[in-house]
């Protein structure tokens, strides 16, 4: 199993990142930090999926003069392009909410907000 893990070390890295991100989401008190944690998680999933497309020795899948096989798998890259946009959009909304919460409450610490309720 260790051998397999070592071979798939890219995937392992994304699992570790995922857990770090989730840790931040759960434990951080500051709403922005929470959201940074979420962004770390997003990044880890994107890294995982992009890593799926890697082929040893592969080149960017752009055909044209001088291109030569093997090419990396274009599908994960396309998916993650979409994924990144989704993540950015979520972030925009989250930050807007944080702005509003700060305007209303004067704080973005989760525990202080909870006390206000």
Give residues 14-33 in contact with another protein (rule: CB under 8 A).
15-16, 18-19, 22-23, 25-27, 31
Candidates 33, 101, 107, 109; binder of another protein (CB under 8 A) is: 101
* Interacting residues with another protein between 42 and 81 (CB under 8 A): 42, 45, 48-49, 51-56, 60-64, 69-71, 73-79, 81
- Cα dihedral 13, 19, 21, 26, rounded to 10, equals -170
By CB under 8 A, residue 94 contacts another protein: yes
Q: Which of 33, 36, 90, 107 binds another protein (CB under 8 A)?
A: 90
Consecutive H or E run containing 104 = helix 74-105
Phi, psi for 75 (deg, rounded to 5)? -65, -50
- Residues 87/38, Cβ–Cβ less than 8 Å: no
């Amino acid at each position: 199993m260790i051998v397999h893990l070592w071979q798939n070390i890219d995937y392992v890295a994304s699992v570790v990142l995922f857990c770090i991100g989730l840790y931040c989401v759960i434990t951080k008190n500051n709403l922005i930090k929470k959201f940074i944690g979420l962004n770390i998680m997003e990044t880890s999933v994107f890294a995982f999926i992009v890593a799926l497309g890697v082929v040893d020795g592969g080149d960017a899948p752009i055909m044209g003069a001088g291109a030569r096989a093997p090419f990396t798998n274009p599908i994960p890259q396309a998916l993650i392009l979409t994924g990144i946009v989704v993540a950015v959009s979520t972030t925009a909304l989250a930050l807007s909410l944080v702005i509003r919460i700060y305007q209303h409450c004067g704080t973005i610490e989760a525990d202080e907000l909870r006390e206000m309720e």
